[in-house]
Each structure stands twice: as C-alpha cells, then as structure tokens.
Amino acid sequence: MTTATADAVSQPFQAEVAELLHLMVHSVYSETDIFLRELISNASDACDKLRYEAIANPALIADGAPPEIRIVPDKKADTLSVVDTGIGMDRQELIDHLGTIARSGTKSFLARLTEAKDGAGLIGQFGVGFYSAFMVADRIVVTSRRAGAGEVWTWTSSGGSGFEIAPGSEEDAKRIARGTEIVLHLKPDAKKYLETHEIERIVRAYSDNIQFPIQLVPEEGEPSQINSASALWQRSKSELKPEDYATAYKQIAHAFDEPAMTLHYRAEGRYSYAVLLFAPSTKPFDLFEPERKGRVKLYVRRVFITDDADLLPAYLRFVRGVVDSEDLPLNLSREMLQNNPQLAQIRKAVTGRVVSELEALGDKEPENFAKIWEAFGPVIKEGIYEDFERREKLLALSRFTTTAGEKRSLKQYIADLKPNQTEVYFLAGDSIERLKSNPKLESAAARGIEVLLLTDPVDAFWTSAALDFEGKPLKSLSQGDIDFGLVPLLDEHKDETKPDADEASIIAVIKATLGERVSDVRASQRLTSSASCLVAGSHGPDRELERLLARQNRGAGSKPILEINLRHPLVAAISADNAASADLSFLLLEQAQILDGELPEDPAAFAGRLNRLVLQGVAKGDG
C-alpha cells in the first residue's frame, strides 16, 4: 500500500527485496567491505551509461564536466557519501532499481544466500550490490538527477519494509547537476569506513581499475584521486602482475573467488581489439537459467557499449571479462550488434582462442582445468551439440567418469582401447551408482572394455549426434546392436558359447505375452549374468534421451527393445508348455524397467506376479 505525506510518498519493498534486506541486516558477512566496492561499481556503470548515451545525445554532457566518482567521509555527521556524475535516475528509475529485483532466479538466489556462510560473492554476482550498504548503514538517502532532466528526486530507506520517495529540495538541485549521491548513515560498528586509509585500502583492493577517477574528499585538505583509472586490458602483459589480474577479475566479474584461467592479448591486423577474459573457479547461481546469457563486456575505444553482445557462444557463458575494439562504431544499435560482420569475426576469433586456451590449460595446468571442468563441464558439453566447427576440440577438452576411473579424457580412452575394439562406448543415466550396476555393462566388463558413464542431463542430447573421436565412433550401450565378439574375454576360460535353449520358441512366447509393450524381443550380446535389459533401436533417440523427452511430454515414447540372456535360468524356463511363462515374461520386462530406474507400468500386477512365482518356488522346495 502506498501512503503520501506532503510531497513524500512511501512504498513497500518488493517481497524479495525485503527478504534480502533482512538477510543483510541480520547476518554477519565477513566481507563487509563489499558495500563500497559495489557502490563504486554501480557509480562506474552510471558513468559508462552517460558516455554511451552522450554519443547519440551530446547535450547530456554539454556542461563539459567529465564523469567521475567522489567518496566523501563526514565524521561529524557519521555519514559516508558516494557521488557520481553519471547518467542519474528519475523518479520511476529510483523505484525500479532500488525497490525491486527485476530478475529471474531471485528465489533460488535468496535460498543460496540463506545457506551461504558468507554471501559476499553471491551478492556481487546477482547485481544487488546496492543493498549490501545496509550491512553498514541503518539509513540510506539517495538523491539523483537524470542527465538532461530538470527534476531532482530523493529516495530514503532505513531498511525495514519500505522506502520513501520525494522531490529533491532547492539545495539538492544546486548540489546535483547530474548523477547520483548516496549518503550512508553509518552504524556505530561501521565507523572505520570514515577513515581515509580504510577507504584507500578498499579502493586499491577492489576498484583500482575502474576507468573513471575516484576522488577522495577528506574533511581537511584537498581531494585526491585514489585509483589508477586505467583500462588494465589496454596495458602490456609485461607490466602486469598476477595480483593485478586477480584484482581486475574481482572488479569486472563482481567475484570473490580466484580465476582459474586468465586470457589477456591484443589482436592486430585487419581488426584491432584487446581481450581480457577470466574463467572463474566456482559457478554462479544462475548458470542454468533459460536465457543462457554471457557476461563479457563490449567496449569500443574504452567506452562501454553493452554486456549483452553475445561475444562468446552460450556454452562459454561462464567466462567473464572485456573485449575492447578499436574499429567498431560507437553508436552500435541492437540490430548492428546482431548483424555486424566485423563483430562476427571478433566473436569467431575470440571463441576459438578461448577454446584453445582451455585445451592448453588442460595439458599444462590440469589442477586449474579440473576446477573449471568441475564447475562448468556440463555447460561446455552443450557446445558439442551446438558448435559443429569446434566439436572435435570440445570432445578433446571433455573429462569423463568411466568404468576405469574419474576425469578421463577421450585421448586416454583411445590410448587404452582393447584389441579389435573400434568404438568408444558410453552409457547415459541419472547417477553413477545406478550406471555402475546396470546390466548393460556386463559383457563390456567381461572384456575389460572401458565405458563412459554420463550423468549430466545435457549428455543425453550431445550424444544423440553422430559423433566420432580420432576416427572412433561413439556408441551407446543402450541403443542398437552391440557385438563384442571380436574383443577377447579377460577370462579365457569363461564359457560364452550359445546355450542349448530354443531361442526362437522362447522369443515367440515372450513376444506373444508382452504384445505391444515392446517393439521387439531378441537375444542379447550385452548380458552375461542378468536376465534381461531394455535398449533403444538403432534409429531414433537413445534410452536416456527418450526418458528426458517423455518427462517433458515432448516425445511420442517409442517402445523399447527387450533383450534377453538365453543363458539365464529364468529365460530358459520359458516355454509354451510352462504355465508360469506369462508371469516370467512380464517379470523380465519389469525387472529391466526397474534396473533402468523406471517403475513397472502396473506395480500392483508386478507385485502379484512376483508373489506367485516366489510361492511356487517355496512350494517346490517344501515338496
């Protein structure tokens, strides 16, 4: 409910903002310094936006005042002010930006923040850094004038349930010609942030590479610039230290972890541009949001243009950083971003360089690459399906849990092929434990054939493409015919000769009993000890993809093939003369479903059949 007093209007916070503020105020995060970094970052964004909008509308900076940021401590009033001469906000923008979180994934973010021991990194990643100021302030006053506007507006809140918005005073109008002033009324335990040495320490640690001058305005003496205000990506690699990159990463990516990979280079030639990219070592909470948006920022001659230029494909959306072009026009429109041939060339070249750098990291620094794969492996594997041009490279990058161990590459797999083995075998499912106990592995295990065990949802999709690696096709153990006959058994004395059972009559009985529940029944080359398993046909989706599509009601649900092990006593007992053959046939289907992680079609009928067969066995034993 909105209430008005004089010219001031009170409004409640959006529910998620209220919950976020409660977490900020009542949780003690160890990194309270985050508030100043986040306010400076927001001020920098505002200055970036001003520079960009002024390209089309030069009147916005007609006063000639360059964009800058000022930090003003006031020990008498116990306030700390962060002031920028950027784009500023009008009344509605103050309400939209400071009263609501207009982003998908808010609920999951809040859940993560509640669970986190220290939520500082999450706060920055989600872009709600402004609210972190309530960790150190019990009241915040924001006064802003949008560039080119006549009105000044004031937003005030003490946290709690809402905020108040009102027209600025004449004094406010004189003080703020353009931009935003944020005044924090500090809590008693946050007074250290009024000390100039403390402010300088935080700026040096987190904001030194902000491109706009950050002026510290002390209570006594002259203002001084406390950041280097240089575009680090434009500097030579030889003059930079690892700590410079670590600081730049934290500022650019709003991160608190260490980068697992840093890529810094300058491209010269037909097009000239500087690149500074980082691969994080921990994944952000919104990695799997449907938009699959990247966060690499596009600059043109040090002027920020957008972070929505899709400079890298969606499967590299975890990469953070900057691409700064010398040649692109400053007034890039949305349409030009999509269709500019020069930008397309930059995208292609930078993507290729990132993939090559990941390859090199895997060879030279496997520990750092392991961090990237652990956090982002499922995302990188999206590229195997989507990026035909780099498919072989992405397959080489990939690491797998296999029946031979963890974090195995396909190069290692190929090096360990068994005699006469001509394919790379995999099995997809929902958990490693279930896959390891899957009967489809039995014949492969008897020959020591390594099998990739794939449990990420994306695995069902990329493996649906016709793939090979170094000339060896990838083959699912859940699909089509499998024949390991030419690969020698580990145990040479193990008997794999065809049993004496009447194959044709057994299959005929099972087919007649199961009817249209299966598309076919056939003798299995996969099984050595289990009685049955379900597989997909050679054409159409694999079993795991079939299940995923069925869950989303996107597939027709083709009938599986039932494979039977003719050496198994349960199968051998089936005949036209055996009264229990119908129950046994259904049992073969239902136990195969259970081993695949599915429920029998009719659980009550399954239980009844099982009980009958058990009782028959008990009766024979008593007899």
Q: Which residues pair with 179 in a beta bridge?
A: 145
| CA-atom Rg of the chain in angstroms | 32
Find out whether 400 is annotated in a ligand binding site: no
265 neighbors 360 (Cβ within 8 angstroms): no
Cα separation, 267 vs 246, in Å, equals 22
Which DSSP letter does residue 177 get? Answer: S
Nearest to 320 by CA among 354, 356, 279, 358: 279
What type of residue sits at position 240?
Answer: L
Nearest to 169 by CA among 4, 6, 3: 6
Find out whether 520 is annotated in a ligand binding site: no
Find out whether 365 is annotated in a ligand binding site: no
Q: In the sheet that 532-535 helps form, which strands lie side by side, from edge to edge?
A: 520-523, 561-564, 532-535
Residues in contact with 50: Cβ distance below 8 Å, sequence separation at least 6, in sequence order: 60, 61, 67, 85, 86, 87, 147, 178, 179
Instruction: Report in angstroms the alpha-carbon separations of 410 from 367, 482, 490.
Output: 18, 20, 22
Find out whether 103 is annotated in a ligand binding site: no
Find out whether 617 is annotated in a ligand binding site: no
Largest CA distance in the chain: 106
Find out whether 84 is annotated in a ligand binding site: yes
Find out whether 104 is annotated in a ligand binding site: yes
What type of residue sits at position 188?
Answer: P
Which DSSP letter does residue 536 get? Answer: B
| Residue recorded with tokens 């809402």 | 162
Tokens of 343: 């930008």
Cα separation, 48 vs 55, in Å, equals 11
Find out whether 180 is annotated in a ligand binding site: yes
Cα separation, 131 vs 20, in Å, equals 8
Cα separation, 361 vs 377, in Å, equals 14
Strands (E), 367-467: 400-402, 405-408, 424-428, 451-454
Q: In the sheet that 153-157 helps form, which strands lie side by side, from edge to edge?
A: 3-5, 8-12, 162-167, 153-157, 137-145, 179-186, 79-84, 69-74, 214-216, 224-225
Find out whether 227 is annotated in a ligand binding site: no
Find out whether 96 is annotated in a ligand binding site: no
CB under 8 A, 24+ apart: contacts of 236-243: 237/264, 237/265, 240/264
Find out whether 42 is annotated in a ligand binding site: yes
Q: What are the two backbone dihedrals, phi and then psi, of residue 307, each rounded to the nearest 5 degrees?
A: -110, 20
The separation between the first and the last C-alpha atoms of the chain, rounded to the nearest angstrom, is 81
Find out whether 239 is annotated in a ligand binding site: no
CB under 8 A, 24+ apart: contacts of 385-392: 385/458, 385/461, 385/462, 385/464, 385/465, 386/313, 386/314, 386/315, 387/313, 387/315, 390/351, 390/352, 390/355, 391/465, 391/467, 392/469
What type of residue sits at position 38?
Answer: E
379 neighbors 271 (Cβ within 8 angstroms): no
Residues at the binding site for ATP are 38, 42, 84, 89, 104-105, 125-130, 180, 334
Residues at the binding site are 38, 42, 84, 89, 104-105, 125-130, 180, 334
